[in-house]
Structure 1
């Protein structure tokens, strides 16, 4: 019956393919794709390893939690992802949002990942992706620009080797300058060298010319080596800094602040914590949740994923939601789509989401065998990685652009930008509120042009009528105070000559000088070949 047919459609192969996108490309997988996916996976892995350690520092968590958060998204997106380029994992902005909630306690971070995943999955199932359309670009730009400044300045203390600096932005600025005399020379020199190296390699990558088959093999190989070094610059710089620190360790002196001991091994697979036992009492689930902040992190983390992934909103909500939900069982903090690593993935020529399997495997191998080497990573080197990662997020041009396009949009931009330095959530909510008020006001109070003159010639326009038309328009529109706009309805005009076109062009210029508009409507096809003559005055 009809129930059987419905069941058959739900279980049909095309339907299963839509629900499980891996079935679209896996049957066609080839050795050539495997080669490109391996290269892309390793390249992204070399990018994600130092960034994961650094972003855990931004979140206020031990560095191993950055690695715990970096592999689940690779595996989930391989099965459910619809874009070959997108990567999921820890990001600078998400780490900043997490830092305002976790209080340096990983238990809160893991619970937040679980709550964010539940919220995102629910929004995906309810098809609520359209809600992101109500977050205006000025609010997003204000938030990301403020976040880049906050995250970048937060790493100045590690570049200078300063200790006991508060995490709140304004207190951070005050105490950083107050303790500037306590700067450790070793950390400052190494941090600045790492910054210069990262910026130099990044600039080098931008100016590498494209290779051509006609060029000698030596030239193409050299360009590939330079490109690979520039792409994996974060890993190379961190490796260089670690070797320098290890060399000093062998001599018995250590001028750098090091990352320190990192626990070895994979995280245990266990449910996220729903309570926290302290020395004094047990913190209940309700006290841990802090619904307002947890909900804010979930929504904003998903905003980054939707912006990064060219997929339908429901799927974009579902994949990061499932990643965060499953990630909470392996001690992950919330993750989302990464712009930088997605770009690296695309540039290396990845063919399928299977590249994520290589990246995830590389992270797991580093957790299993390489954590002892993380001891020698200087914090100044990780700080340089973070600063270079967040610097492009500050968009200074947006202020000038909005001034030229629509100055009123500067209000939500500036409010969001300034309040995010105090509290990220308040800045976002205030910007959204102002944008909503401006939108509702424009809907409730649309601009109505009252003083408009409508002129409708009853037949063709020929040169004898040019002067008469200009006089009528001038007397009734330009000679009055204030000047009136004019709409010239050409519905009945099927013929026009050059003299009239010239006269109308001059009339347009007069209207421009007076600051009012002369608009044409109902133009016929016969006008098409003559429009070029009006371009100079249109």
Structure 2
């Protein structure tokens, strides 16, 4: 009763609580004109003035180390995407340069990744222009999400869904390289078709490619463990392990060059890479396929759901990488969206495919002791030098070598430990994981993660619609009472469920129950749907000679019911025990106090 009385108020208190609109405008104008605003969207203005000369050497070493991994990976991922290798290099250098200005995490390296390449691959069979256009569109969507401060949206996608997606992507990408590893020609990189082609074309396996591919894969896996070998030159083994991809490419090039003759090559190669810097031009808003002009609207139809799914996946991947290496710092998800969006938009002007944060290269960056995002400049310069001077050498990179590099990376993307953790923690989450995994594998990645997200939302809605409600029957002074304990907040989805449970309980006891008491200690807020169902329940129970009482409800929840119907004030009782409700007569003075308390909640909002 004290709580109810304390909540008495009038319309003037609401008017006093309303903020002055002039103060809001003034505060917004002051915030926009302050020095914090450009620093918020341009993090380089925050760290560059504080840059120390001692950071430079470590940033250069880290940039070079990451660059030696970026170049072979960019070439490989360009191939995975169904494009010529230079598209991967274009993506790598633009991602590096843009992120140093707009990025917030010093360790993150933005560029082409295996997942992005696979998602693009299904759309570029007709023309590479589709990859560039989806890069621009996904960048625009991501940038808009960042500007609108929608970073919190990524929290609505659960770990079982993302784990199922990343595992499916890793398995699909590795499966797509199985034919290249053994020198078998394959027109597809998809999961089932790749294995079907492999097993039906074993007689077309190339001996040289198979030997090179399998041995390279084996050596790469061994080199990953070199850093764990105890020795005096720990720093040397560490950098050898981190540079394993570059070493594999160099050895592959040397073998291909010296074992080939003027008539034929010793291995299947990736083909020529266009040398020089990429041309700076507008993204292709129309294209030609087999001599036929394709308009922008038709290209959009061809890209379909990928315009939304690719930005979502790129944001998830990039923010997950940033959080993994944030070292306790809070990751500004919205600013990461801005950085990623601008990187993709700018990349589309230099013929880039979609980019995002790379876990592998970020881990190398972190292990190399990078101090600021300036290390990305060194990586970007190294990629530009490769484009300008080494493209003729890259012609001799064997496809088997690139396939081994990709498969070695994908093996460690399959999170077996995480799968076991999800299974031990909750079996329902494991079901969600397996459904996402299988849908991604046997349908497409876009629709697979969409199915996972929708299914996850359905699980949440179902839990909301089925709160934990415990109904017990107690006998107080020869009166049978049904005590309803709602152990979760009520929402519109659970309104009908509450009513149905109570009615079934009354019918099961053959109408012997004379009072239904709904405990409201844990009901902190309801909507009009719940309130209407409470009133309907009262009417239905009255027809069965049973009284409904709401015991110790929160005032905010009681007010919603009372605003719908003033006579509903009599439903709410406030006492310490059930016995008081049944036996004690409420004096007129106490009744007036309760009514006045609830009356205060009836003031129009």
Q: Could you say which TM-score interval applies, normalised by the shorter chain?
A: 0.7 to 0.9
> Could you tell me which residue of structure 1 aligns to residue 315 of structure 2?
302
SS of alignment partner, residue 102 of structure 1 = coil
> Could you tell me which residue of structure 2 aligns to residue 146 of structure 1?
168
Aligned mate of 1:35, from 57, 60, 64: 57
Q: Distance in 2 between matches of 1:62 and 1:114?
A: 19
Aligned mate of 2:135, from 113, 117, 122: 113
Spell out the pairing of 1:132-171 with structure 2 (5 A cutoff).
132-171=154-193
Q: Give the Å deviation of 1:441.
A: 0.7
Structure 1 outlier segments of 4+, above 6 Å:
1-6
Q: Which moved more, 1:292-301 or 1:382-391?
A: 292-301
Spell out the pairing of 1:301-320 with structure 2 (5 A cutoff).
301-310=314-323, 311-320=331-340
Name the CA shift for 1:166/1:19 in 2 (closer, same or farther; >3 Å).
closer
1:78 and 1:353 in contact (8 A); partners too: yes
1:304 and 1:336 in contact (8 A); partners too: yes
Residue correspondences, number: 442
Q: Give the Å deviation of 1:25.
A: 1.9
Structure 1: gaps of 5 or more residues: 210-218, 454-538
Q: Distance in 2 between matches of 1:250 and 1:415?
A: 51
> 1:255 and 2:266 equivalent?
yes
Aligned mate of 2:408, from 385, 388, 395: 388
SS of alignment partner, residue 123 of structure 2 = helix
> Could you tell me which residue of structure 2 aligns to residue 345 of structure 1?
365
State the Cα deviation string for residues 454-484 of structure 1 (Å, max 9, x = none): xxxxxxxxxxxxxxxxxxxxxxxxxxxxxxx
SS of alignment partner, residue 107 of structure 2 = coil
Q: Distance in 1 between matches of 2:82 and 2:46?
A: 40
Q: Distance in 1 between matches of 2:126 and 2:182?
A: 22
1:102 and 1:109 in contact (8 A); partners too: yes
Q: Which moved more, 1:125-134 or 1:43-52?
A: 125-134
> 1:438 and 2:459 equivalent?
yes
Q: Distance in 1 between matches of 2:314 and 2:122?
A: 14
> Could you tell me which residue of structure 2 aligns to residue 368 of structure 1?
388
State the Cα deviation string for residues 219-259 of structure 1 (Å, max 9, x = none): 3xx32222111111100011011101111125865331012
Q: Give the Å deviation of 1:398.
A: 3.6
Q: Give the Å deviation of 1:365.
A: 0.8
1:67 and 1:367 in contact (8 A); partners too: yes
Q: Distance in 1 between matches of 2:43 and 2:144?
A: 20
Q: Give the Å deviation of 1:152.
A: 0.3
Q: Distance in 2 between matches of 1:26 and 1:452?
A: 69
> Could you tell me which residue of structure 1 aligns to residue 66 of structure 2?
44
Aligned mate of 2:282, from 248, 251, 271: 271
SS of alignment partner, residue 393 of structure 1 = coil
Q: Which moved more, 1:352-361 or 1:102-111?
A: 102-111
> 1:12 and 2:34 equivalent?
yes
TM-score w.r.t. the length of structure 1 is 0.79
Q: Give the Å deviation of 1:315.
A: 0.4
SS of alignment partner, residue 62 of structure 1 = coil
Spell out the pairing of 1:396-415 with structure 2 (5 A cutoff).
396-415=416-435
Q: Give the Å deviation of 1:165.
A: 4.2
Q: Distance in 1 between matches of 2:180 and 2:157?
A: 34
> Could you tell me which residue of structure 2 aligns to residue 172 of structure 1?
194
2:104 and 2:332 in contact (8 A); partners too: no
> Could you tell me which residue of structure 2 aligns to residue 424 of structure 1?
445
Name the CA shift for 1:207/1:134 in 2 (closer, same or farther; >3 Å).
farther
TM-score w.r.t. the length of structure 2 is 0.70
> Could you tell me which residue of structure 2 aligns to residue 95 of structure 1?
117
Q: Distance in 2 between matches of 1:203 and 1:130?
A: 38
Q: Give the Å deviation of 1:418.
A: 0.8
Q: Give the Å deviation of 1:20.
A: 1.8
Spell out the pairing of 1:204-243 with structure 2 (5 A cutoff).
204-207=226-229, 219=232, 222-243=233-254
Name the CA shift for 1:90/1:129 in 2 (closer, same or farther; >3 Å).
same
Q: Distance in 2 between matches of 1:400 and 1:21?
A: 39
2:432 and 2:456 in contact (8 A); partners too: yes
> 1:377 and 2:390 equivalent?
no
Q: Give the Å deviation of 1:292.
A: 1.7
Q: Give the Å deviation of 1:6.
A: 6.3
2:126 and 2:289 in contact (8 A); partners too: no
1:165 and 1:175 in contact (8 A); partners too: no
> Could you tell me which residue of structure 2 aligns to residue 83 of structure 1?
105
> Could you tell me which residue of structure 1 aligns to residue 306 of structure 2?
293
Name the CA shift for 1:357/1:195 in 2 (closer, same or farther; >3 Å).
same
Structure 2: gaps of 5 or more residues: 1-21, 324-330, 475-605
Aligned CA-pair RMSD? 2.1
Whichever of the two has the greater Rg, that structure is 2
2:80 and 2:189 in contact (8 A); partners too: no
> 1:123 and 2:145 equivalent?
yes
Q: Distance in 1 between matches of 2:228 and 2:464?
A: 45
State the Cα deviation string for residues 318-376 of structure 1 (Å, max 9, x = none): 10000000000000000001111111111101111100000011111111111010011
